[in-house]
Amino acid sequence: MTTPALATGLAPEDVRRLRATAEFVREQETSVLLSRVLPGLDGPELRAVADRCGFAHAALLVFPADHPGLRAGLAACGLPDDTGSQPSVVVRDRLAARHGRDATDLDVRILRPVVHGPSGERRAVEVFALATPPGPALSPLAAHERDHDHEAHLAFDVDRPDPLVLRGLRASLARHGAVADGGGYNPHEDGTVFYFTTPTETKTPYRRMELYATGDHRDLLAEHLAERRPAEHSAEHSAERCPAAHSTERRPAEHGPDALHGPDALRATAGGSDADAAETLLRLLTGAWTTQALAACAELRLPEVLGAHAPRTAARLAHEVGAHPDALETLLRYLAMLGVVTEERDGFRLTSTGLLLREDATGSMRPLAQMYGGPFYQSFAHLAHSVRTGEPGFEHLYGENHFDHFARDPHLAATFDRSMAAGSRMFDPLPSHPVLTAAAAAPTPRTVIDVAGGTGELLGRVLAAHPSLRGILLERPHVVAAARDRLTAAGVGDRCAYRVGDFADVPPAGDVYLLSRVLHDWDDARCRDILRHLARAMPSHADLLVVERLLPTEPAPSLATAWDLHMLCNTGGRERRADAYARLLDTAGLELVAHRPLPLDAHVLHVRKR
């Protein structure tokens, strides 16, 4: 009979540890686990902590003979390897320091197979894997690490973190014996990690725990790091946190030209050394390489060729896409570092992230890669000109605004329109907005007018959700043709009419008007004109729903801040705060009634005639 080690590429002890960890993650209720980690935490204080913290993952280090064999080992333990692996530089360096080894001799990867908790909540098993070929070279290291489990830890995600909540949580943990043990801020993910050593009386085998809080909390992190005690394993590995282990709302869905990626991307910790700062800046400076690597992947149609097939070698892929084999292998290795593909013994395989670059994928982001790696990438080379003059870098480069430029190139215009649909996840909650549900419940059919509605992504969702509603889409001629095809294919074309025109041609007599991601394209003067056209067309009873990203009212990381720079450089427009939109609306005789958040840092503004 085949032994477990031969069948899985893992020693029986590691198979047992993986299975036990996966079962542990699946079974734990957050409140019960917290009471075990911190004995004495009970009653109202336990409920308060559990209300703010959700158990997210447990981590362990295993020792496969090689990394391809680990995939079979995970499968044998019921752990899907669908997120791909990345190098784990931080754990590698910790192992090297702990055992007096040369770090270059240690090949450590990190994987996060997803599992689900008792109520179906998304969790992960964080697997660090050190390739340990048969023989005496690394066997003592593996035996020591299995005995001591230095890399094992539990992780809890903080729900709706703010400074007061984080201070309260840290105080509760400290009161029950948890000791500060490092941490870090990861700007790539915009998340802050606080590490603790658990008390000696803990009732779990885990001696380390982490709190993960979305956002930049480096002021609190500095206090936390000042409290840490020297420990062999207190080094931060914040850069190895990944959204896969958390809510999908934290998974990036749109990236601008300066998007940053990488297995240990942007490891910046409070109080870091000059070398850390230099490494952080170097990784920031190479962000443009990532944009072009993703654009090249899309242009070569690597995702289409890889598909759902078994791994393929670089040589075979080069033949199929028409590329130089060695050059393509260089690109593929970089894409593997980004998590777009994964490298295995038999070649390269597409990951779920890479799947989004396929043209036929649901929610395909291929058009975004083409735009960000194409004309917008070129215009960002003139950002300094934009900052000096206030003139869009796009106009400086091409001699005309981007709408006119795209109109002269049908292929480019179609790509731009598709790229707008690629960020449509922000529309997911919109059909359930009270304005639309009220219109759908009216005794007579109501009409929704989508002004500059692109290819109809938003209007199609609204009509599909509410069969009683009728729609009108106003757009440029070539876009109307594409919208007609899309809405017909979606099965709602028979309830939709189409109007060719500009903002001056907004149809009257609508009941609900939609204006999505339009105002940020323009300066204040042009926005006032657009809103006045809308106000003239809207009946007194009509509602207007405006979809835009809102700049934060206080300094905080936000996609709106990134897109504000994008609009400056490419359209001459800008993102705005809610109060700025309220003032613009007021000049057109309109009133901002309320606004509510949407995914991807967007908001929907409810507007009525004053």
**Active-site annotation, residues:** 520
Question: Are 60 and 149 in contact, with CB atoms under 8 Å apart?
Answer: yes
Nearest to 192 by CA among 234, 172, 222: 222
Kindly state the DSSP code that residue 359 receives in the 8-state scheme.
T
Query: In this structure, what token pair is assigned to residue 37?
Result: 């980690």
Q: How far apart are the first and last CA of the chain?
A: 80
**C-alpha pair distances (Å), 575 with each of 145, 190, 607:** 51, 20, 18
Query: In this structure, what token pair is assigned to residue 172?
Result: 């509760």
Nearest to 269 by CA among 193, 162, 157, 211: 193
Collect all residues with Cβ–Cβ distance below 8 Å to 240 and sequence separation of at least 6: 86, 88, 90, 91, 110, 263, 264
Strand order in the sheet with 470-475: 496-500, 470-475, 447-451, 512-516, 543-549, 602-609, 590-598
Question: Are 55 and 116 in contact, with CB atoms under 8 Å apart?
Answer: no
For residue 453, count CB atoms less than 10 angstroms from its CB and return exposed for 0-12, middle for 13-18, buried for 19 or more: buried
SS3 450: strand
Query: In this structure, what token pair is assigned to residue 139?
Result: 């066997």
Question: Are 263 and 89 in contact, with CB atoms under 8 Å apart?
Answer: yes
Question: Are 81 and 129 in contact, with CB atoms under 8 Å apart?
Answer: no
Q: Count the neighbouring beta carbons within 10 Å of the beta carbon of residue 523.
A: 13
Beta bridge partners of 158: 53
Nearest to 547 by CA among 401, 435, 405: 435
- Pair type for strands 590-598 and 122-130: unpaired
Question: Are 232 and 181 in contact, with CB atoms under 8 Å apart?
Answer: no
How far apart are alpha carbons 239 and 366 in whole angstroms? 27
Q: Per-residue DSSP letters for 514-531?
A: EEES-GGGS-HHHHHHHH
**C-alpha pair distances (Å), 422 with each of 44, 216, 315, 489:** 45, 27, 32, 17
For residue 459, count CB atoms less than 10 angstroms from its CB and return exposed for 0-12, middle for 13-18, buried for 19 or more: buried
For Cα atoms 407, 410, 416, give the angle at the middle one, nearest 5 degrees.
75
Kind and range of the H or E run holding 428: none
Q: Residue written as tokens 């840092």?
A: 601
Kindly state the DSSP code that residue 390 receives in the 8-state scheme.
S
How far apart are alpha carbons 440 and 461 in whole angstroms? 13
How far apart are alpha carbons 129 and 138 in whole angstroms? 13
How far apart are alpha carbons 261 and 290 in whole angstroms? 7
How far apart are alpha carbons 355 and 360 in whole angstroms? 9
